[in-house]
Amino acid sequence: MLRPANPISYGSACMMSNVLSGGIAFIALRSGSHAESVVGMTLVTPEGDILKTGSSAIPQVGDVPVLGPGPGIWGMFLAAEGNFGICTEMTLQLYTENPWPRDKTLFLNPVDGKEEGMEDVAEFFYTVSRDNYTQAFYKASNRHLAQMGASSEQEITAVIESLPAHSLWCVLTGLDEEEIEIKKRHLGAQLKANGKFVEVPESEKKLLFETMNMTEEEANRVFFKRCYTAVGRVGRWKGSFQWTTHAVKMEKIAELEKKYRAIMNRYWISPDYYGSSLATTTDTALQGPYQYGRTVMLEFDFYYDQGNPDEVKRANVVVEKLHRMMLDSGTIALKVGQRTLELQIPRLGTYFDLCKRLKRTFDPNGIMSPDTMPIMDDYL
C-alpha cells in the first residue's frame, strides 16, 4: 500500500532519473512536486568524493524526512543534468496509494463542448484543486484521448468526433465507500454551482471505451495512472510524440492558450490543411496541479512523422517558439529539453552567475555534462 508518487511518465521511466530531471508526480495535489519527496541522496562528485545529503549523512540517524543537516545543498543537484555530480542512490518519501476501495474516477465534460473555453476550465480546475479532496485532476482534449486509446487514423477520427474539445477527469479515493461518496457529493455540488461541466453518464463512458476498443480497467491504467505500459500508444498516429510543459498560475491559462493557438496557426498547421484545428496533430493538457491549486502544469503535445523532414523542422521551430513565448510570459520550464535550460537560465541574473561559479568550483575541468546547461565559461 506504500509507494513513491508515480511520475507522470512512461511506465518504463526510471524513478530516480524522473525526480532528478524535475519530473511531476501524478498525485502532486497530495504530495507536491517530486523534489518535495526527496529525503536524501548519495552522489559522486567530479573529484570522485562520495557525498551524502539529508539525515543519512549524520551517523546512526538514517533516513528521516527533514531538512538538513544544515543548508539543503541537495537542491543544487536536482534538474542540474549531472553538472555537479552523479546521483547513485536516492531515498524518497512513500505515500499510501489508493486505500481500499481503490478509487473512483469521474469523467467531466463541458456542457456546450466548444473548442474555446479555457477560462472555464481554469476556473473549475482552481475551484476543485483549492479544496484539496481529490487525489488527481487532469484535463485532456479529444485528440489526446484519441491518440492514447485508438490504434488507427480511422479510430482516432471517430473518437475525436465523439468527444468534446475539453475533457476533465477527477480521481477520488477513500478508506471506505462512505468517504468516497462524501467527496463525490462535494464534487457534485461544485459542478452544480459552476454550471459549465457535467459528469458523463455511465452509458456514455461505456460507449467511449468501446469506441477506443478498451476495457474500463485498461483505460484506468493507461489514462488515469499516467503509466503507459503500452508505450507505443502515443506514437500510433504519426509515429513520434513530443511535448512541452511549464508551471503556470491558473489565471494565466486562458491567455497562454490563445498565444499557443496563434503560434500553431502560423507555424505548425500545414498550409494545405483546411479542416478544424481540432483535427491537427497538437493539443493542450493540464496536469499535476499542486496543493490548493497554487500552480498547474500547462502541457502542449505534438504528434508528428519523424521520417518527414518538413514535419521535424516545423516541430523544432514551434517547440522553441513556444518555450520563448512561455518564458517571456513568466512561466517556469519543467521539461528539460529543446533548449529549455539554455533559454531560461541566462534570464536569471544573480542565480545564473551563481550557477556558473558553482560549476567552476565543483567541476573546474568541465568533465561533467559540459553542454547541457549554459554555465560553462566556454559554452557556445
Flag the least confident range among 41-45, 144-148, 157-161, 249-253: 144-148
In a domain, 178, yes or no: yes
What pLDDT band is residue 26 in, cutting at 50, 70 and 90? confident
Select from 73, 96, 119 the last residue of a domain: 96
- Does 224 lie in the same domain as 257? yes
- Does 260 lie in the same domain as 152? yes
Task: Fill in the DSSP letter of residue 363.
Answer: -
First to last CA, the chain: 49
- Does 217 lie in the same domain as 144? yes
- Does 69 lie in the same domain as 194? no
Structural domain span for residue 71: 2-96
Q: Which residue's entry shows cell 478509487?
A: 103
Cell numbers standing for residue 133: 479532496
Helices 253-263/118-131 angle, 10° precision = 140
Return the closest-CA partner of residue 344 out of 374, 315, 366.
374
pLDDT at 40 exceeding the cut of 50: yes
Query: For the domain that residue 88 is a member of, what is the CATH number?
Result: 3.30.465.10
Are 198 and 191 within 8 A, CB to CB?
yes
Distance CA 101, CA 175 (A): 7
In a domain, 353, yes or no: no
Q: Which residue's entry shows cell 487532469?
A: 138
In a domain, 225, yes or no: yes
Range picked from 134-143, 156-165, 200-209, 244-253 for highest mean pLDDT: 244-253
Comparison of pLDDT for 12 and 359, the residue scoring more: 359
In a domain, 346, yes or no: no
- Does 310 lie in the same domain as 228? yes
Which pLDDT does position 100 carry in this prediction?
53
Distance CA 202, CA 10 (A): 28
pLDDT at 201 exceeding the cut of 60: yes
Write down the mean pLDDT value for the chain. Answer: 82
pLDDT digit string (tens) for 42-91? 999 999 999 999 998 888 888 888 887 888 888 889 988 899 999 999 99
Which pLDDT does position 39 carry in this prediction?
92
In a domain, 236, yes or no: yes
- Does 148 lie in the same domain as 207? yes
Which pLDDT does position 277 carry in this prediction?
47
Hey, is 110 helix, strand or coil? strand
Distance CA 290, CA 251 (A): 14
Which pLDDT does position 225 carry in this prediction?
47
Range picked from 1-10, 264-273, 331-340, 343-352 for highest mean pLDDT: 343-352
Q: What percent of the chain is helix, strand and coil (3-state, nearest 5)? A: 45, 20, 35
In a domain, 348, yes or no: no
Range picked from 25-29, 116-120, 341-345, 349-353 for highest mean pLDDT: 349-353
**Range 23-48 average pLDDT:** 86
- Does 164 lie in the same domain as 202? yes
Side-chain-side CA neighbours of 136 within 13 Å: the count stands at 27
- Does 108 lie in the same domain as 68? no
What pLDDT band is residue 24 in, cutting at 50, 70 and 90? confident
What pLDDT band is residue 152 in, cutting at 50, 70 and 90? low
Cell numbers standing for residue 227: 503509466
pLDDT at 267 exceeding the cut of 80: yes
- Does 111 lie in the same domain as 86? no
What pLDDT band is residue 159 in, cutting at 50, 70 and 90? confident
Quickly count: other Cβ atoms within 10 Å of residue 117's Cβ: 19
Hey, is 26 helix, strand or coil? coil
- Does 321 lie in the same domain as 252? yes
pLDDT at 229 exceeding the cut of 70: no
In a domain, 375, yes or no: no
pLDDT digit string (tens) for 103-116? 777 878 888 767 77
Sequence-separated (6 or more) residues with CB below 8 Å from residue 176? 100, 101
- Does 125 lie in the same domain as 58? no
Flag the least confident range among 84-93, 143-152, 348-357, 365-374: 143-152
Q: Give me the percent of the chain exceeding a pLDDT of 90.
A: 28
Select from 76, 96, 116 the last residue of a domain: 96
- Does 198 lie in the same domain as 169? yes
Distance CA 110, CA 117 (A): 9
Quickly count: other Cβ atoms within 10 Å of residue 170's Cβ: 23
Cell numbers standing for residue 54: 539529508
Q: For the chain, what is the domain count? A: 2
Select from 66, 96, 126 the last residue of a domain: 96
Helices 118-131/177-194 angle, 10° precision = 140
Which pLDDT does position 92 carry in this prediction?
92
pLDDT at 237 exceeding the cut of 80: no
Comparison of pLDDT for 276 and 296, the residue scoring more: 296
Which pLDDT does position 144 carry in this prediction?
72
Query: For the domain that residue 157 is a member of, what is the CATH number?
Result: 3.40.462.10
In a domain, 23, yes or no: yes
